Amino acid sequence: MNPDDFHYALENTKVIHAPQKRLETFGTTVLNYHLITEEMDAVNRMRVREGRIHAQKPELVTPDHFAKLMLDGFGEKAEKYADAVSEFASQIAILKYGFTFRKDETRRYDVTGALAEVADKVRAEVEAKGDPLAAVLTGVDDGWEVCLLKFALDMVLASGGEHVRDLRRHGLL
């Protein structure tokens, strides 16, 4: 995939139905996605992929831990710099998120119809099930995995503020 295709996939990822719950702060979250893409070689032929994205709980990375992460394969000068960063960055904490994407749980099927019609039908089916962790997306067929990664990152960004508040309430920040 060239850089233009990558950016095209990012720009053309749309959330039709967002999960009603955010990512968990203290546990793993399993997001159920339904990604609809238009086949490039056929008019009104859509591909629907269903699967799961597993998001592990965010890991709190403190300045000391961050300094250790920075040192992999570096020498003594880098160690001194990392120590200096740790001294001045005592107020910094980073949340590190881990995702696993399991293709073996992906179901794929083709349907005929316009993108908007298919998206509305899938959205209605998902809403009827009442799954608070389900999402319906539209994207690009060749870059469908990029579309899912963009969705996952957007979920992290939407959940991050609440995760920081949760960690503070529990005295971890």
Comparing C-alpha atoms, which of 51, 39, 86, 42 is closest to residue 65? Answer: 86
Specify the pLDDT at position 135.
97
> Is 150 found in the same domain as 110?
yes
Query: Do the beta carbons of residue 37 and residue 8 sit within 8 Å?
Result: no
> Is 157 found in the same domain as 110?
yes
Handedness of CA 50, 51, 57, 58 (dihedral sign): negative
Specify the pLDDT at position 69.
58
> Is 64 found in the same domain as 50?
no
Range of the domain at 142: 3-58+98-169
* Cα separation, 90 vs 26, whole angstroms: 23
Question: Which residues pair with residue 17 across a beta bridge?
Answer: 136
Query: Do the beta carbons of residue 46 and residue 156 sit within 8 Å?
Result: no
- E-state strands within 67-106: 94-96, 99-101
Count CB-CB contacts under 10 A for residue 60.
Answer: 15
> Is 37 found in the same domain as 12?
yes
Query: Do the beta carbons of residue 3 and residue 107 sit within 8 Å?
Result: no
> Is 87 found in the same domain as 134?
no
Burial 134-144 (b: 16+ CB within 10 A, else e): bbbbbbbbebb
> Is 80 found in the same domain as 18?
no
Specify the pLDDT at position 168.
84
- Residue 140: in which H helix or E strand, if any? strand 134-140
How many folded domains does the chain comprise? 2
Comparing C-alpha atoms, which of 23, 25, 101, 21 is closest to residue 59? Answer: 25
Query: Do the beta carbons of residue 163 and residue 58 sit within 8 Å?
Result: yes
Q: In tens digits, what is the pLDDT along the chain, a chain of 173 residues?
A: 788 888 999 999 999 999 999 988 898 889 999 999 998 888 899 999 999 988 888 877 766 665 565 555 666 766 666 666 666 655 566 777 776 655 556 799 999 999 999 999 999 999 999 999 999 999 999 999 899 989 988 998 898 888 888 888 988 77
> Is 105 found in the same domain as 122?
yes
Question: Is the pTM of the predicted complex or chain greater than 0.85?
Answer: no
